[in-house]
A = this chain, B = another copy of it.
Amino acid sequence: MKEEIEERVRKSLLYDFYGELLTQHQKDIYEKFILDDLSLSEIAADENISRQGVYDLIKRCDKILNEYEEKLNLLEKFLHIRDKLENIKELTKDCRDSNDLSHLKEIDDIANEILEDF
């Protein structure tokens, strides 16, 4: 179940990043599946196409979005930045909680690491 959710989150992130590169028709159907969480049969009825047709289209979208990420790695880059920002937030909290400036150098180092990765 956890893996299924993670897989869905990943698909929805990939769609956030690269969805605009799909056709309008692909976007409409993929959104119903990924964002609105409709079943294949529900989408098939909505769109007046076969369940197999919906399935094929969604698989095709998955493939396209994954291929963009394989080439560009921009989602991975963003997730990496997000992790580092969470680190900065924790360190800032530590500083404030303890009234201790000793983590400021680490915050600066992390900011530099992110900037160097750009």
Contacts and interface: CB of A to CB of B under 8 A. Distances in A.
B85 A107 contact: no
B17 A74 contact: yes
Interface centre among A17, A92, A112 (most CB of B within 10 A): A92
Range of interface residues on A (Cβ < 8 Å) = 20 to 34
Given A81-B81, A82-B118, A74 B74 contact: yes
Contacts of A114: 81, 85
B111 A93 contact: no
Interface stretch (A2-10, A40-48, A55-63, A95-103): A95-103
Interface of A: 17-18, 20-21, 68, 71-72, 74, 78, 81-82, 85-86, 88-89, 92-93, 95-96, 99, 101, 104-105, 107-108, 111-112, 114-115, 118
16 contacts: A17-B72, A20-B71, A81-B81, A82-B118, A85-B115, A86-B115, A88-B88, A89-B108, A89-B115, A92-B107, A92-B108, A93-B108, A95-B104, A96-B101, A96-B104, A99-B101
